[in-house]
């Protein structure tokens, strides 16, 4: 995804409608950072990857990977996606806890990820790691804003459905204009861009399916 960070809801800029979230945003971000650090170290250990080898596979510098593992930085969504691709795992697996047979996520418990400018928001619709190889999100995009996503791991596909507003989806060289209720399934292992052509905020459901 584009370079966006796990900015808490309170950081939303003035003049834009703030979307309510859990009062524990700061604590939630810290917990997320610890989970990412633990999962990254464990995955590297299992795969036998050095920091240098993962840096080469992911395109994220060795120094940045070291800072993530030691909880010294708040990595952007773009960096986290690159790390997950470099490890060859679903994005949610990098963020998640152990899987349970039944997983309940209350709206207020979701760790919402936002861009620094507050124009893009991604809210998970299930706990990280709850569905093997499948992730679901509610996306919100401010009026006339866009969000560019880096290619995911080979064979990954996405389904996006417009809940409100409209969406111009660009996949490789092709663009598709979607209205309320329209859906698009596309290969997500290439660069793709979400663009809101309207002045009002748009809402979308996004399902990511990884090749297993």
Task: State the pLDDT at residue 160.
Answer: 98
Please tell me the predicted confidence (pLDDT) of residue 94: 83
Residue linked to tokens 């507050």: 118
pLDDT, residue 9, reads 41
State mean pLDDT over 96-106.
Answer: 65
Q: Is 193 exposed, middle or buried (0-12, 13-18, 19+ CB in 10 A)?
A: middle
pLDDT higher than threshold 80 for residue 131:
no
Greater confidence, 40 or 101? Answer: 40
Residue 16 has pLDDT above 50, yes or no: no
Pick the more confident residue, 21 or 164: 164
- Fold matches, 25-95 and 107-209: no
**For residues 111-132, average pLDDT:** 81
For 98-122, b/e burial (b = at least 16 CB within 10 A) is eeeeeeeeeeeebbbbbbeebbbbb
Count CB-CB contacts under 10 A for residue 96. Answer: 21
Report pLDDT for 178. 98
Is residue 128 over pLDDT 90?
no
pLDDT of residue 78: 79
Give the tokens for residue 76. 């952007």
In the chain, what percentage of residues exceed pLDDT 90? 43
d(CA 191, CA 188): 7
CATH topology for the 25-95 domain: 434 Repressor (Amino-terminal Domain) (1.10.260)
CATH superfamily of this structure's domain 107-209: Jelly Rolls (2.60.120.10)
Question: Can you give the pLDDT at residue 21?
Answer: 40
Task: Say if residue 96's pLDDT is above 90.
Answer: no
- Kindly report, residue by residue over 133-182, the tens digit of the pLDDT: 788 999 999 999 999 988 888 899 999 999 999 999 999 999 999 999 99
Confidence label for 1 from pLDDT (cuts 50, 70 and 90)? very low
Domain ranges of the chain: 25-95, 107-209
User: How does residue 11 score in pLDDT terms, banded at 50, 70 and 90?
Assistant: very low
**Average model confidence (pLDDT) for the chain?**
81
The confidence score (pLDDT) of residue 14 equals 37
* More confident site: 194 or 74: 194
Closest CA to 110 of 95, 99, 120, 98: 95
């Amino acid at each position: 995804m584009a370079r966006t960070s796990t900015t808490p809801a309170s950081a939303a800029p003035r003049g834009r409608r703030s979307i309510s979230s859990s009062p524990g945003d700061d604590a939630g971000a810290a917990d997320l950072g610890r989970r990412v650090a633990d999962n990254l170290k464990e995955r590297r250990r299992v795969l036998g990857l050095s920091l240098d080898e993962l840096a080469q596979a992911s395109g994220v510098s060795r120094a940045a990977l070291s800072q993530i593992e030691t909880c010294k930085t708040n990595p952007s969504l773009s960096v986290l996606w690159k790390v997950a691709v470099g490890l060859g795992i679903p994005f949610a697996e990098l963020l998640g806890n152990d899987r349970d047979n039944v997983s309940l996520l209350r709206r207020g418990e979701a760790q919402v990820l936002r861009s620094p400018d507050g124009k893009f928001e991604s809210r998970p619709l299930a706990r990280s790691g709850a569905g093997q190889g499948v992730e679901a999100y509610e996306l919100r995009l401010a009026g006339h804003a866009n969000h560019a996503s880096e290619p995911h791991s080979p064979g990954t596909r996405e389904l996006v459905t417009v809940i409100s507003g409209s969406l111009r989806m660009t996949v490789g060289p092709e663009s598709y204009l979607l209205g309320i209720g329209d859906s698009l399934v596309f290969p997500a292992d290439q660069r793709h861009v979400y663009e809101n052509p309207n002045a009002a905020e748009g809402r979308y459901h996004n399902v990511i399916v990884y090749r297993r």
